[in-house]
Amino acid sequence: MPHDDKQYFTVSELNSLVRSLVEESYPEVRVLGEVSNFKRHTSGHLYFTLKDGEAQLRAVCFRSQADLIAFDVEDGMQVLATGRVTVYEAYGQYQIVVYAMEKAGVGELEAAFRKMRERLEKEGLFDPGHKMPLPAYPFRIAVVTSPTGAAVRDIVSTLRRRWPPAEILLFPVAVQGNQAAPSIVRALELLPGVEGLDLIILGRGGGSLEDLWAFNEESVARAIYGCPIPVVSGVGHETDFTISDFVSDVRAATPTMAAEISVPRMEDIIARLDGIESRLVQFARLDLELRRRRLSELVRSYALGRVRGGVEGAMQSLDYTVERLYRTVREMARDRGSRVREALARLEGLDARKVLSRGYAVCSDGGTGRIIRSSAGALDARDIRLTFSDGKVSAEVKERVNGD
């Protein structure tokens, strides 16, 4: 109530009133939060902010109590502060005067972790339906981690060993301290703008729950959730779970395993290609054998001296081609896994044009482009095309010729 008979408070009066109300209500509180904007004044007093994902609280610790704190307070540290709540009347700002502070124990951090996990889970941030499948063959991979330390080395060397075709883009971030969460969030905001990026690996080596705290920050969780490119997280050791792990599209136990999950093994893919190509060759071989058998039957059924010469020539050339194919397949089987370019060169040896260079030509219909297999077909077509190894010519069919 305004004193005297005035109908209003002065600012000083109101602040003083609120101060006494607050001080009476909260003579002693314990607050869990992260230290930020930490400053040690020349007077010896400590000024800082305590915060969590959503809110901030001004804090001051006077010199006499500050000297009793058993550790060096730093930004990013999770602490449990004990103090009284008051109002700094000059600024009308409410704050906590801290007179004891300890590093937050695992118990407190775990409780905070569980609470946030439940809240974000309810909100649907861990929804399996929202997770993106990883690309089978990523060729451009961003690695978001500290530029120093074991994690970046492990990830890069694993990627290079397993899958050399991939281009690796390092995005250096802080993974600990009060810059960690904002720098990771920034990375996840900027990376989708990188052209042709297929995958993001977010990693950090092992550490205490406090060390890994940035990966439990709500801002990081939301940035991962909102990232349109698949994110694989590999934070800490096997037993460490962070909120980032739950939100990411795939969780790996360690940075090395994140890299392993992210890419196929080059050898496996080469083996698969080898397999497919040898099936192709196999097919071509069977196809030619079939043609040879048909030709043999033809020769047997006609058995006419006049025709035989031409047929035998054709048979011989087919035999030769089949022999070649056999050789190719045998060599491919022997050299499987060795230099692939050679296998490819052998495959190209099967190309019809190579056969043409030995003096054959393919006859096709000049209009439809269909291959002509018989003299009757050629007479029907009239306008034909002859394909030699070095090019094509057009030709006109005049008449059937008797004899060889």
Partner 1 sequence: MATKKARFEESMKRLEEIVRELETANLSLEESMAKFEEGVKLGKVCRELLEKAEARIKVLVEDEAGTLREEDAPYDSKD
Name which of 44 and 165 has its Cβ closer to partner 1.
Answer: 165
Q: SS3 of 354, please?
A: helix
- Please choose, from the candidates 220, 209, 185, 203, the residue with its C-alpha nearest in 3D space to the C-alpha of residue 149: 203
Neighbours of 47 (CB within 10 A): 14
With tokens 């029907």, the residue in question is 380
Q: Are the CB atoms for 134 and 232 separated by under 8 Å?
A: yes
Angle at 199 between CA 196 and CA 205, to 5 degrees: 140
Closest C-alpha to 222, from 197, 253, 243: 243
- Number of neighbouring beta carbons within 10 Å of residue 3: 8
Task: Name the minimum Å distance from CB 17 to partner 1.
Answer: 47
Nearer to partner 1, 40 or 186 (CB): 186
Q: Are 116 and 44 in contact (CB under 8 A)?
A: no
**DSSP class of 191:** G
**In the complex with partner 1, which residue's Cβ is closer, 58 or 140?**
140
Taking the least distance from each CB to partner 1, the nearer of 118 and 167 is 167
**Within 10 Å of residue 104's Cβ, how many Cβ atoms?**
22
- Supply the minimum distance, in Å, between the C-beta of residue 350 and partner 1: 8
For residue 81, the minimal CB distance to partner 1 (Å) is 35
Instruction: Please give the Cα distance from 224 to 243 (Å, whole number).
Output: 10
Q: What per-residue string of b and e applies to 213-239 under the rule 16 or more CB within 10 Å gives b?
A: bbbbbbebbbbbbebebbbbbbbbeee
Nearer to partner 1, 160 or 308 (CB): 160
Of the pair 21, 290, the CB lying nearest partner 1 is at: 290
Angle among Cα 151, 153, 154 to the nearest 5 degrees reads 65
Determine the distance from the C-alpha atom of residue 97 to the mean position of all C-alpha atoms in its chain, rounded to a whole number: 47
**Contact (Cβ atoms closer than 8 angstroms) between residue 171 and residue 142:** yes
Output 100 or 150, the one with its CB closest to partner 1: 150
| Positions that interact with partner 1 (CB under 8 A) | 135-140, 142, 147, 152-153, 156-157, 159-161, 164-172, 186, 190-191, 193-194, 196, 198, 266, 269-270, 272-273, 276-277, 279-280, 283-284, 287, 291, 340-341, 344, 347-348, 350-352, 370-371
